[in-house]
Amino acid sequence: MATVDLQQQHNNLINFLYEEGFLDEQYTQLEQLQDESSPRFVEEVLSLFFDDSLKLLHNIETTLNKEPVDYRKLDAHLHHFKGSSSSVGAQRVKNVCITFRAFCQEKKKNGCLQCLQQVKQEYYLLKNKFEDLFQIERQILRAGGTIGGTN
Amino acid sequence: MDLCNCIDPPWSADDLLMKYQYISDFFIALAYFSIPLELIYFVKKSAVFPYRWVLVQFGAFIVLCGATHLINLWTFSMHSKTVAVVMTIAKVCTAVVSCATALMLVHIIPDLLSVKTRELFLKNKAAELDREMGIIRTQEETGRHVRMLTHEIRSTLDRHTILNTTLVELGRTLALEECALWMPTRTGLELQLSHVLCHQNHVPYTVTIKHPNVNQVFSTNRAIGIPPTSPIAMIRPRSGKIMTGDVVAVRVPLLHLSNFHMNDWPEPSKRQYALMVLMLPSDSARRWHLHELELVEVVADQVAVALSHAAILEESMRARDLLMEQNVALDLARQEAETAIRARNDFLAVMNHEMRTPMHAIIALSSLLQETDLTPEQRSMVETILKSSNLLATLMNDVLDLSRLEDGSLELNIRKFNLLAMFREVHNLVKPIASVKRLSVSMTLAPDLPQYAVGDDKRLMQIVLNVVGNAVKFSREGSILVTAQLERPEALRDSRVPDFYPVQGDFHFYLRVQVKDSGLGINPQDIPKLFNKFVQSDVMTTRNYGGTGLGLAICKRFVNLMEGHIWLESEGLGKGSTAIFIVKLGIPDPRNELDHQIAFPIQSNSNHTDFSGLKVLVTDDNGVNRMVTRGLLARLGCDVTVVSSGRECLQAISQAGQNFKVLFLDVCMPEMDGFAVAAHIQEMIPHQHERPLLVALTGSTDKATRENCFKVGMDDVLLKPVALEKMRSVLAKLLEHGSQCKSR
């Protein structure tokens, strides 16, 4: 019984994330790669992403705050960030990265700062949501169900 | 006797007489000598005269007679003894020969006379033969005419031409005065004058078929004479005395197309005949001869055949026209159907996205709203919203599913799942609803059911839920029994399901699920219709119980996709019903169950190319990307190694004993990018067949980037992020293409 509830919650959350544009089809691909041999694949990838992105954000902030701003380095960081976010399907983060990069190429510091705030916001939002999601998943597994079960 | 007269009278009367005798004897002798000469001359001329010996005799006789008379000349005066002797000899000879000749003639003259009679006889014979020759010639000519007529008739397929030609030719050949054809009317009870040779009148004469003359003609296939006063011979309007020559009539069988379909010829009574009437000229004394009658019969038969050909042709032309019309109509219908399908597909495409998106948003947000603090009214409102939108979403999904099922575009998601857990879930889902209706749901799972199975668990659950849901919906009280068991194929060869041929095998089993309820029951007549779309048992059911009527239709299609069978049984209204379905599920690979530590899962149901063991090397500086790409390739069964820079990649390649088949190179890397790596590899391993396949990974959609990749020697370019299917197809293509390259 509990499993059903939890799974319902899980599905609702996932649907919500899709609808709100937090996630795109790439996330579905990731889900497909998860099976009995790598049951926590998605969680592992996303954890890596969050850790990696945290470091990256830190680096970006440092680069922006230094005078003069090394835009080439910034672009490299952003390229990295964009790549990672698109690999995991973090759509909103990726989109902000693209905007951020545009500002970076035009060397508009204000735009960059604005984007930095935005991307940090998106990052934390997504991270929180996924923390909830992973918690539900762990609960489901403890209760003996399977993730991606029935609707 | 000669008188020895010694006196020499000087021309006395006696002398005169003697002189006359002298002269006569002389002439007689002359004639007597000339006749044989003539005879000889003429006989020599004619070669055929058979009686030469007789002639010789005759000739001898005449010559001797002549000689006698000649010698007589000397006896008128004084003559010596020698003359007398000669005379005597001559006379004796003459006597002998003439007697012989007389005797001979007795034999010969009857012969000669009979020659004459024979000549007469032969002349008569010759005259007779001449006559007969004449007859044969005329017969042959009529035969020729018949052949020509037949040829004419058969060379045309137009009914009227056939008949007209017949009449014309017959009239000419037999020199008829009148020739006519009577055809049966539509009713078949009368004969109508349809074709006439000479006298064209436009008043249609009819004769009833029951007329004795008509019966007479129809009863035999010979041509028979009929009296000129018979109505069928009254072709012309009466004009004074009826003086027509002999009239003959013959039947012409009309063969219909249907006649050729039967195995044996139809009875004569069913046949229809036409009647042909032929009249000889009234002013000649001709009578119908046998050969002419035969000719008429032959012609009648030929006409029958020609007419039947014409009839067949008419029918086939008509059939062909009909077919062409139908073809045109079918084409139109097909075009309309295609338009309709296109319209439906367009509609579906729209519905798929446009309607689902807001629907999901509504559902998601309503459920989130439910989680927040609400007043009871608000809560009940939200619940209603949720329920309605769920219903709507289900309906949309159902319809879309059904359309996709019918299109054949729906595919099952085959994977390993926990069969027992699925049943437990169903039970858990149904119990609360059933208990509200005070129905008890009991689930019995056979002990030999495997725990894990391979199949589309989502859809299987949908089927079970639907069936159980129906049972709950249509029961007011009582209990619902659900049983699930393994089905043996022998038990499956059921007479009730004749189209279902289950096959025994090592890798699959058949699951049988039975749901028995004590509800409304179904009228046995309605059972076949229940699986049709949008059909429920009756209107009242829909009103009372709601639902779309799609559930069973979808279930049936899913069951069919799973190579199974679903059916309903009921003893009648009020006696409850049982729904049974059998589906085919796979037996999971035991290896997957045991070892969860296998890093590279071997797929138990590989549906496309198997890349298991394929050694690949992934070079990417982005850790997340590395992990994702590795997971992707591992999923496809490859043996994946990852490195994080171009330098490490080259190191790995230059190691002895490396056997990477495919290299995935991220294009944008610091220090050494994908291009440089590719260039190095080209230098290191110049021979293409020893080189691994190079695939570039890039996030840029730039055409220039793509071109540069190929320029530097990449075998393919992939756009990040890569989907599983795309990776699979690219690998498959590369391996195929690669092997083609290497084989050159």
One-letter-per-residue 3-state SS of A119-144: HHHHHHHHHHHHHHHHHHHHHHHHHC
B358 has a chain A CB within 8 A of its CB? no
Nearest-CB residue to B721 (from A15, A26, A44): A26
B301 has a chain A CB within 8 A of its CB? no
Q: How far apart are CA B169 and CA B146, in angstroms?
A: 8
Within 8 A of A37 by CB-CB distance, chain B residues are 592, 596, 598-601
Which residue, among B452, B628, B644, B667, would best test binding to A if mutated, counting the most A CBs under 10 Å from its CB? B628
Within 8 A of A35 by CB-CB distance, chain B residues are 415, 601, 635
Closest CA to B36 of B6, B65, B1: B65
Q: How far apart are CA B639 and CA B623, in angstroms?
A: 18
SS3 content of chain A, % helix, strand, coil (to 5): 80, 5, 20
Nearest-CB residue to A83 (from B601, B625, B634): B625
How far is the alpha carbon of A37 from chain B, nearest alpha carbon, in Å?
Answer: 5
For position B123, what pLDDT does the model report? 95
**Could you tell me how many CB contacts below 8 A there are between chain A and chain B?**
107
The answer to whether A84 contacts B361, with C-beta atoms less than 8 Å apart, is no
Within 8 A of A151 by CB-CB distance, chain B residues are 458
Tell me the pLDDT tens digit for each residue of B108-129.
788 878 888 899 999 999 999 9
Specify the residue for token string 């390993």.
B416
Q: How far apart are CA B680 and CA B379, in angstroms?
A: 67
pLDDT band of residue B738 (cuts 50, 70, 90) is: low
For position B619, what pLDDT does the model report? 92
How far is the alpha carbon of A88 from chain B, nearest alpha carbon, in Å?
Answer: 8
The answer to whether A48 contacts B623, with C-beta atoms less than 8 Å apart, is yes
Task: Give the least confident one: A56-70, B79-93, B630-644.
Answer: B79-93
Strands B190-196 and B206-208 come out as antiparallel
Judge if pTM exceeds 0.80.
no
Q: Give me the mean pLDDT over the B599-614 stretch.
A: 54
Nearest-CB residue to B458 (from A82, A89, A150): A150
A48 has a chain B CB within 8 A of its CB? yes
Report helix, strand or coil for B578. Answer: strand
The answer to whether A44 contacts B368, with C-beta atoms less than 8 Å apart, is no
Q: Which residue of A has its CA nearest to B724?
A: A29
How far is the alpha carbon of B574 from chain A, nearest alpha carbon, in Å?
Answer: 33
B427 has a chain A CB within 8 A of its CB? no
CA distances from B516 to A106, A150, B435, B541, B575 (A): 72, 24, 17, 19, 11
How far is the alpha carbon of A111 from chain B, nearest alpha carbon, in Å?
Answer: 23
Q: What ipTM, to 2 d.p.? A: 0.87
Q: How far apart are CA B603 and CA B406, in angstroms?
A: 29
Q: Are B509 and B446 in contact (CB under 8 A)?
A: no
Report helix, strand or coil for B688. Answer: helix
Within 8 A of A82 by CB-CB distance, chain B residues are 699
Q: Are B192 and B337 in contact (CB under 8 A)?
A: no
Tell me the pLDDT tens digit for each residue of B659-699.
888 899 998 888 888 899 988 888 888 887 778 889 999 88
pLDDT band of residue B193 (cuts 50, 70, 90) is: confident
Highest mean pLDDT among A98-102, B231-235, B300-304: A98-102
A49 has a chain B CB within 8 A of its CB? yes
- Is pLDDT at B487 greater than 70 in this prediction? yes
Tell me the pLDDT tens digit for each residue of B6-16.
555 556 778 88
Q: Give me the mean pLDDT over the B487-497 stretch.
A: 62
Within 8 A of B457 by CB-CB distance, chain A residues are 150
The answer to whether B622 contacts A32, with C-beta atoms less than 8 Å apart, is no
Tell me the pLDDT tens digit for each residue of B292-332.
888 888 888 888 888 888 888 888 889 999 999 999 999 99
Mean of the per-residue pLDDT values for chain B?
80
The answer to whether B601 contacts A41, with C-beta atoms less than 8 Å apart, is no
Nearest-CB residue to A15 (from B364, B599, B699): B364
Q: pLDDT above 70 covers what percent of chain B?
A: 84
For position B606, what pLDDT does the model report? 42
- Residue A94: Cβ-neighbour burial (10 angstroms; 0-12, 13-18, 19+): buried
First to last CA, chain A: 13
A63 has a chain B CB within 8 A of its CB? no
Report helix, strand or coil for B717. Answer: strand
Q: Are B233 and B279 in contact (CB under 8 A)?
A: yes
Residues 76-95 of A with CB under 8 A from B: 76, 79-80, 82-84, 86-89
Within 8 A of B429 by CB-CB distance, chain A residues are 4
Residue B52: which residues within 8 A CB-CB, separation 6 or more? B43
Within 8 A of A38 by CB-CB distance, chain B residues are 601, 631, 634
- Render the burial of A121-133: b for 16+ CB within 10 Å, e for the rest: ebbeebbebbeeb
Region of residue B657 (left: phi > 0; alpha: psi -120 to 50; beta: else): left
Within 8 A of B724 by CB-CB distance, chain A residues are 29, 32-33
Task: Give the least confident one: A20-34, A46-60, A119-133.
Answer: A20-34
Report helix, strand or coil for A21. Answer: coil
Within 8 A of B422 by CB-CB distance, chain A residues are 150
Sheet holding B693-698, edge to edge: B639-643, B615-619, B662-666, B693-698, B716-719
B363 has a chain A CB within 8 A of its CB? yes
Greater confidence (B76 vs B565) lies with B565
Task: Give the least confident one: B179-188, B431-440, B488-497.
Answer: B488-497
Which residue, among B414, B627, B720, would best test binding to A if mutated, counting the most A CBs under 10 Å from its CB? B627
A2 has a chain B CB within 8 A of its CB? no
Tell me the pLDDT tens digit for each residue of B500-529.
666 666 778 889 999 998 888 877 777 777
Q: pLDDT above 90 covers what percent of chain B?
A: 9
H or E element: which one contains B737? helix B724-743
- Is pLDDT at B207 greater than 60 in this prediction? yes
Within 8 A of B425 by CB-CB distance, chain A residues are 3-4, 149-150
For position B593, what pLDDT does the model report? 47
The answer to whether B622 contacts A87, with C-beta atoms less than 8 Å apart, is yes
The answer to whether B363 contacts A37, with C-beta atoms less than 8 Å apart, is no
H or E element: which one contains B617? strand B615-619
Q: Are B87 and B72 in contact (CB under 8 A)?
A: yes
Q: Which residue of A has its CA nearest to B622?
A: A80
How far is the alpha carbon of B341 from chain A, nearest alpha carbon, in Å?
Answer: 29
B456 has a chain A CB within 8 A of its CB? no
The answer to whether A32 contacts B631, with C-beta atoms less than 8 Å apart, is no
Residue type, A5: D
Report helix, strand or coil for B121. Answer: helix
Within 8 A of A33 by CB-CB distance, chain B residues are 628, 631-632, 634-635, 724
- Is pLDDT at B92 greater than 60 in this prediction? yes
